[in-house]
Structure 1
Amino acid sequence: MLRKLLPSLWQSGATALENRNIIFSCCSRSFHSSRATAAPPRSFFGVEDFVDEDNSRPYTYTKEKKPRNPENRKHVSFKQRTIAYMEPFSLDVFISKRFVSASITHRVTSKQVAVAGTNSKDIKAVLQSRSDIPACIAVGRILADRAREADVYTATYTPRERDKFEGKIRAVVQSLIDNGIDVKVYLD
């Protein structure tokens, strides 16, 4: 078939051969037409340009480099990776001017196992003040009872940066320890 098409292309016009679009013009030729159509000029990337969605700029790919800053790629030790599974329950104590709240949370699933606070109705009616040391001891005792009901007997406590392990926070933790919950305190 190419033998038949090449002489007809040569006779119909030398522009197809000069642009070196022989194959394109052969493919674009219709069966019923004896004339070959002129091909559009080819682009740099191939048959069509790669452009952005708004057809404004040619598509260019830039590979993002990973930062070499050692702070962004910190080494994670074996203890850091396994501590959530070895010691799965953590104690969180929050003390404000008006109330005291404490909870034991499962670290892997982030579910609260036991919660106690002086804002609840049953504790609020019994206490004279909701934010003093006897209120903290009561919250620790009730939290220990609820934790034992959920089969939790150990927990870890790491104070927040602004908190010091003294006073009301120490009273809550000591009350938990006195009522049968083994609390491991990590002080940095």
Structure 2
Amino acid sequence: MKDTIIIIISILLVFTIFFIIQRTYTIPSNVSAITASIQQHLEEEISSIKEYDISQSTSKIAIFEYGKKRGYAVFKENYFNKKLKIIFVKKNILEKNINIIHTNRGNYILLSGNYHRKIDYIVVKEGNTNHLFEVTLFNENIGNLYITLETIPRKLTDTMLNDFTLYNKDNKPVY
């Protein structure tokens, strides 16, 4: 009797968790639905959008234009229903910003900002240790949005990203 109750409770718990997850991933994985969800956050009309998968993971970035500005949004896809949920939206790609993107393939650093030279590397300081990561632009025509090419250690946190330095291919700091 006791085992039966535990099994029933376990099954109900699994279905409840599954139902909650399904309700948070509501955006169909198509351009029009992604555009509509971003427009809802911005309350402005988007004129163009480009999607990029993050390293064959279930996460993607959408770079969009509205008015004369560019922004970006990060989405995650649900394994079961293949729908998306929006993680965050940044209204201006030229504003300096750095985030850790958590994907099912590992963590990546996403960096945006109006830099005067192309960025090739980012160095993140963790106490006395420096972590060097190569970065790449998403699209040469868009510019100002970079992502690490390799995953970053899980121990690096968003607060550690406050102490970083950017370098170009000649190992000169980029400001």
TM-score interval, normalised by the smaller of the two chains: under 0.3
Report the TM-score when normalising by structure 2: 0.23
Higher strand proportion (structure 1 or 2):
2
Larger Rg: 1
Higher helix proportion (structure 1 or 2):
1
